[in-house]
Structure 1
């Protein structure tokens, strides 16, 4: 039997951020992790995928240099082993950094699988070097934090094998670069993988059951992104339904029902299933602590301002949370800070999910914060909307990839409700919009501030100038 102020189950972004902040506030923290500290984001998701997408951007740059700028450059080949080695080095250095940070903060990391035995007690089946000591029991003096993350969903009849049929968790680790890929799912994950494989020369078919890709984003974002992907040669199929598939000796053959009701047969070397993620609670024995999940498997907080469950003292962060939580790593960081501060005592503001940025790291990229135009109207707002093409500013012409800035604001100069971006590097531009929406700024407030020329961010400034009645370059 061991005791701690806080026991955190799960060492992904939500779990380790909770542990670090709680330790910084003087609490004694035990962090239980059965795999690797950093979780899906660090080892199978955010970090390795963005490293690969950066490599894809470099490949695209060679083609642009040759075709658009007269730079006589050619791409001989992609050394897959070298690319993977660089990706893995980035992941390894991040992993070591997080572990060192936890050690410096004096967080006790316990390797093993945890299960609840009561509202304040946890039993851990130890793994690794600690396994010889057998199972251990821990008692939390202040609270337990559930941060066990999620796993990829699949579709009926699709059994991932890690080679021909893969999920987002193992797509990066499948052998080599395929010549063709069928991606099922047009959300952020599916779009990013479609974009990556297209950059690497694969023939890509992207299938989405909804009537547009990235269906949770503004309709204009979907439209611009679809246009950009099609321009690059991705076969985008919205309002399409997967029927069935068979694994062949050299690939996969799948049947898809198209928007017109026709049956399309697609053969590809690899089929990537990217239809969402499901919360992981198996093995936790939630019932032993008096907890339940909803029909989708999420652990629903009783108090969203504290992220506290129906059992006092048990909190939840990360992918175990249902909407309005976003299942994003940076949202998990904010949730971890909130829970740690709640347990330690100092006041902490609830997470404002409406101001958490959403980014798709494809080519072109998308980024957004706040309400879409349709959401704003559905909620009863009368709105003013302005859409500014990136090609209306000089730097947008330099990049030559199209894109837009779309602002949704309350009518008559009221507060900004949402900002939506499509184009190159917009992931690095969205932070300004987060502040604009989060601080309830009005277009006139933003228009008073001067944006640098020539930059892509200048288009953001121009969009607000127009809404404030001071339009300059926008007609």
Structure 2
């Protein structure tokens, strides 16, 4: 029994990255903890998002290298793939990690309540047992806890006329487990999800068209980086139509999509359509309205500690609003439960959250874009360094790419960093650490970067902002 007389000290609704990490930290802090989950430990990210998509993209990357073996002095004949085995590997990776989360729950003595939760009052919820709950698992019933944390995540957004049907129009769920490879594909939306699937299917031989309603693909990225990525994707054969929208789909053996741009319309015929127009928070049927929990545009309103408008009810992760990223959810959850414990953690600073897109080329960023940095009238210094000037990039056969850094001209504060190219999703954390330590250009210039590495481009980009670049 929890110390306050309730069943638990903390109950988390949802066992995605935010939920299960929060549960573990809660248990570490000595709280009696439970997590409610209706289907998958690890949530969408681990089972249907972040992890299995990276497994697919890894297969596509290796397939691409095999097709260009001669560029490395190698020979590979009759290169092909089995889409069934590619999907099986991806699902196996997800399953392995989901089982790992189950182990962590048991190790940390966290109760998993299998089912769907409904809030009855602050500190009280009802769980409707999941029909496919593991045998002997805890499930249905009414439970109490002094603190309830909502971490229910998000689901794909559906546009009128473009509603997914699991056959002609896919969401990322169906796109991850194709029974056969489509010869042609239309991707609606050019955020991280849309571009990653466009990159995967293009690499595997499909003819891919991307439609984006805005004038820029990867809308949250720096405009210069987005333009670089667009050029690279188009060079690979992906057709990109911006400032356009799909207004109608006639379904059949093939799908006829009407695309409108600049007052004109055209019809494209494709095998499948992927709807990647964003996600919306899972706030339905939770009982939020009767408790008076404030929501806004499909998400729960919460402060930097996860506190909602109702004491004792907290929200973290995708359901608490953008950026809708697994690592944001995890950190947000730790901050939330540490605040509950009275540890006075720093509130989440969303400018310090890196974003990564795992297409070819990879994209990674943190902080302000150049446009955002200029908006407030701030004077800035901008540095750039191309991959072609880096020895390791050339040796890897990856000479295309760019690293861009943005500094406050008066203070030397690193305001933002933006990259496109090989392995930039691994490099970006160096700049994230620098920003969290409030590092200026001087410390970065005096830092010794190992040679030969891709990370040297980070150094050169800083030097370039201050007129001291060496290798261009």
Q: Shorter-chain TM-score: what band?
A: over 0.9
Distance 2:289 2:223 in 1: 42
Q: Secondary structure at the match of 2:216?
A: coil
Instruction: Within 5 Å, give how 1:39-438 maps onto structure 2.
Output: 39-66=43-70, 68-127=71-130, 128=133, 135-141=140-146, 143-249=147-253, 251-258=254-261, 260-294=262-296, 296-301=297-302, 304-322=303-321, 325-398=322-395, 399-412=397-410, 414-438=412-436
Q: CA RMSD in A?
A: 1.8
Which residue of 17, 26, 29 maps to 1:25?
Answer: 29
> Equivalent residue for 1:466?
464
Could you report, residue by residue, the CA deviation over 1:30-84 in whole angstroms, capped at 9, with x for unpaired residues? Answer: 1111111111001110011010000010011112223x33423234321122212
Residue 425 (structure 1) shift: 0.8
Say whether the 8 Å CA contact 1:163–1:175 is kept in structure 2. no
1:393: how far off?
1.6
1:473 Cα deviation after fit = 1.4
Taking the aligned partners of 1:316 and 1:238, their CA distance within structure 2 comes to 35
Over residues 197-238 of structure 1, what are the superposed CA-to-partner deviations in whole Å (9 max), with x where a residue is unaligned? 000000000111100100111001111100110111000111
| Residue matched to 1:439 | 437
Moved more, 80-89 or 114-123: 80-89
Separation in structure 1 between the aligned mates of residue 252 and residue 344 of structure 2, nearest angstrom: 58
- SS of aligned partner of 2:185: strand
Contact 2:112 / 2:138 at 8 angstroms: preserved in 1? no
Normalised TM-score (structure 2): 0.95
Moved more, 263-272 or 284-293: 284-293
Deviation at 1:173? 2.0
Question: How many positions carry a matched residue from both structures?
Answer: 465
Distance 2:136 2:273 in 1: 38
State the distance in 2 between where 1:95 and 1:468 align.
Answer: 47
Preserved CA contact (<8 Å) 1:163 1:174: no
Q: What is the rounded CA distance, in whole Å, between the counterparts of 2:392 and 2:445 in structure 1?
A: 19
Contact 1:188 1:214 in 2 (8 A): yes
The alpha-carbon deviation at position 401 of structure 1 amounts to 4.6
* TM-score normalized with structure 1 length: 0.94
Q: Distance in 1 between matches of 2:300 and 2:77?
A: 52
Instruction: Measure, in 1, the Cα distance between the counterparts of 2:134 and 2:268.
Output: 48
Separation in structure 2 between the aligned mates of residue 275 and residue 214 of structure 1, nearest angstrom? 12
Tell me the distance in 2 between the aligned counterparts of 1:134 and 1:72.
Answer: 56
Question: Matches of 2:248 and 2:331 in 1, distance apart?
Answer: 40
Counterpart CA distance in 2 for 1:28 and 1:236 is 51
Alignment partners' CA distance in 2, 1:10 and 1:21:
15
The verdict on how the C-alpha distance between 1:28 and 1:465 changes in structure 2, with shifts beyond 3 A counting, is same
Separation in 2, partners of 1:266, 1:349: 50
Residues 364-373 or 399-408, more deviating: 399-408
Q: Secondary structure at the match of 2:7?
A: strand
User: 5+ unaligned residues in a row in structure 1: which ranges?
Assistant: none
After the TM superposition, which parts of structure 1 deviate over 6 Å for at least 4 consecutive aligned residues?
130-134
